[in-house]
Amino acid sequence: MIVFHGSDTIVDIPRILEAKRPLDFGGGFYTTTSEAQAKSWAIKVAYRNNTDHKCVNRYEFDSVGAESALTVIRFDVADEKWLDFICSNRSGKPTGDYDVVIGPVADDRVYRVVVEYENGDLDRETALKNLKTEALCDQVLFHTEESLNYLKYIDTEVI
C-alpha cells in the first residue's frame, strides 16, 4: 500500500513524535493513502512553521505484514468506536496499546462536529449522523518504533 506524509521537509527516515497537541490517534508518524490530503497537510505544516517548503513524502507500507505481526486498529468508518477513540485521544487519555491505527481523519469540518459533541452541544446520535454525511480521507498512524519497520521510503515531491 502506498502512503503519503505531508511536511515542510523531506522525511526519508520517519520518526515517532510525541504530539505537541491532542491528535486523533495520539502521537506517532501520520500518513494517508490520499496524496491530495498529504499536500493539504504539507501546506498547513509549512504555514504553521512559517516556511515556504512543502513536501509530500511517499512510502510503501507493508500493511499485510504489519497486520500479521503487530497490533493494528482499523476503523473503516466514522462510527461510535471511532468517535470514542478520537475523543479519548484528543482529551489526552489515549486508549489501549497499539502499533498502527488506520481510519478516517477528523478534518476541520469533522472536528467541529467532534468539538460540539465533546462540549455537549450535540448528542451522540446527532454527531454520528452528521459524521456520516462527510466524505472523509483516511490516515494511517505509526505509533511505535517497531511499526516503522513496515514502512519503506520511496521519494519526495516538493510542491
Tens of pLDDT, residue by residue over 90-113, are 787 777 789 999 999 866 677 788
Indicate the number of domains in the chain: 1
pLDDT at residue 52, as a whole number:
94
Whether the pTM exceeds 0.85: the reply is yes
Q: Quick one: cell of 68?
A: 500479521
43 pLDDT higher than 80: yes
Q: How far apart are CA 141 and CA 153, in angstroms?
A: 15
Cβ contact 62:150 at 8 Å: yes
Residue 33: domain span: 2-158
With a cut of 90, say whether residue 134 has pLDDT above it.
no
Residue 84 carries which side chain, given as an amino acid letter? D
The burial class, CB within 10 Å (0-12 / 13-18 / 19+), for 15 is: exposed
Return the sign of the alpha-carbon dihedral for residues 74, 79, 83, 85: negative
Name the band, by pLDDT with cuts 50, 70 and 90, for residue 133: low
